[in-house]
Structure 1
């Protein structure tokens, strides 16, 4: 279960909640965090379907790394309603170096556990994941 490179396991809850977001749209977003004591990725916060992108960005700590998925709804130029699931690797400049390294080394394996991610973003400050950037990547 654990990854040889980073020794990181992924809790079943992470996969189950992601499936609910993807299939049932029970959540707008999920924020995940690494519990360093038990070397496992856990669910940190679940965003309700009526929460906005601003609610999501506000739930990311300013000084700690997180992984997150966001179900982004948008309308195409052809006026089609669509949605894309974004994976966001949040690694703020103020986070501890060890934490940044741990999140960076575990990211690819964790992402593989979540089948159905369509777009990936890396952000070190909120401007790198502004709604305009998300819209631009979605189209």
Structure 2
């Protein structure tokens, strides 16, 4: 599966300029490529992304730029952490699940700077507590 250049450019903008809080990627089956579907602005965060993912029955990928304190017990300042989310709801078509599972590593190679990954089939598997626990 081909990953379009726009995927890397949006990610690099999120990584270096920190103006986007999340990016949702999808596979365009017509062109057989991974493309950018949605971009979350500075005022949108985890809860907006979770609401979007919770309403869809199609598989997607997302990268979330989340401020969490990994070393909270030492009162260290918060850090930016980027989490890759592979969303494949149980109600998705089997063909889509297979397509997304086999295409994930190609996209991950392009997204240099993702700190950890979460795979979810329902919204509880990508809950805020699950994501922050994975970061520790």
Same fold (TM over 0.5): yes
TM-score scaled to structure 1, two decimals? 0.91
After superposition, the C-alpha distances for 1:43-68 in whole angstroms (9 at most, x for unaligned) are: 00000111121101112253100010
Counterpart-to-counterpart distance in 2, 1:62 and 1:51 = 18
Report the equivalent of 1:63.
57
TM-score scaled to structure 2, two decimals? 0.93
Q: Structure 2 stretches of 5 or more lacking a match?
A: none
Task: State how many pairs are aligned.
Answer: 132
- Moved segments of 4+, more than 2 Å: none
Q: Structure 1 stretches of 5 or more lacking a match?
A: 1-7
SS state at 2:9 partner: helix
Asked if 2 retains the 8 angstrom alpha-carbon contact of 1:13 and 1:42, the reply is yes
Report the equivalent of 2:30.
37
Report the equivalent of 1:21.
14
